[in-house]
């Protein structure tokens, strides 16, 4: 009897050609933050892949912005985290379910946004997480 297949489902693998939508979030801080403080500010968005944007060639410089990607697990918890970021460290946040195509080699191609919607900072409840719609909270 052979052992059960323990590999993750095809949709979760990056070495197979897949397409879908993933939470894509870009945070611009009100002022550049030290690396540790920027990471601490983003902790409420657990389970996401974080990419800190440091000035080119200066990895220890203060961080002006960051990008987070990953699955949308709990829309209400995500809205709560966005509200906290906007109340504390964030100047603007761009968030939405971004369409992607992942090649058989694992390279990700992001699809263009279908629509941009600008909302005031206090309207996080208006973020619907509709596929292909980017919400800009400023």
In this prediction, residue 39 carries a pLDDT of 94
- CA-nearest of 72, 38, 68, 28 to 51 is 68
Express as a percent the part of the chain with pLDDT over 90: 70
CB 45 within 8 A of CB 81: yes
Q: Has residue 7 got a pLDDT over 60?
A: no
Would the pLDDT of 9 be above 80?
Answer: no
| Alpha carbon separation from 18 to 11, 21, 59, 134 (Å, rounded) | 6, 10, 32, 21
pTM of the prediction? 0.82
Residues 33-50 have pLDDT tens digits of 999 999 999 998 988 999
Q: Say which residue, 69 or 8, is predicted with more confidence.
A: 69
The pLDDT tens digits for 117-126 are 999 999 999 9
Query: Between β-strands 49-53 and 63-70, what pairing exists: parallel, antiparallel or unpaired?
Result: antiparallel
Q: How far apart are alpha carbons 45 and 81 in whole angstroms?
A: 6
Residue 30 vs residue 14, higher pLDDT: 30
């Amino acid at each position: 009897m052979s052992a059960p297949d323990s590999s993750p489902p095809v949709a979760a693998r990056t070495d197979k050609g897949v397409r879908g939508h993933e939470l894509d979030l870009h945070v611009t801080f009100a002022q550049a933050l030290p690396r540790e403080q920027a990471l601490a500010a983003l902790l409420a968005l657990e389970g996401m892949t974080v990419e800190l944007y440091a000035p080119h060639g200066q990895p220890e410089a203060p961080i002006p912005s960051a990008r987070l990607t990953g699955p949308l697990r709990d829309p209400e918890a995500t809205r709560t985290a966005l509200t906290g970021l906007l109340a504390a460290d964030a100047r603007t946040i761009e968030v939405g379910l971004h369409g992607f195509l992942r090649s058989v080699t694992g390279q990700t191609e992001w699809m263009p946004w279908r629509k941009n919607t600008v909302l005031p900072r206090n309207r996080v409840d208006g973020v619907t997480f509709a596929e292909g719609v980017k919400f800009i909270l400023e």
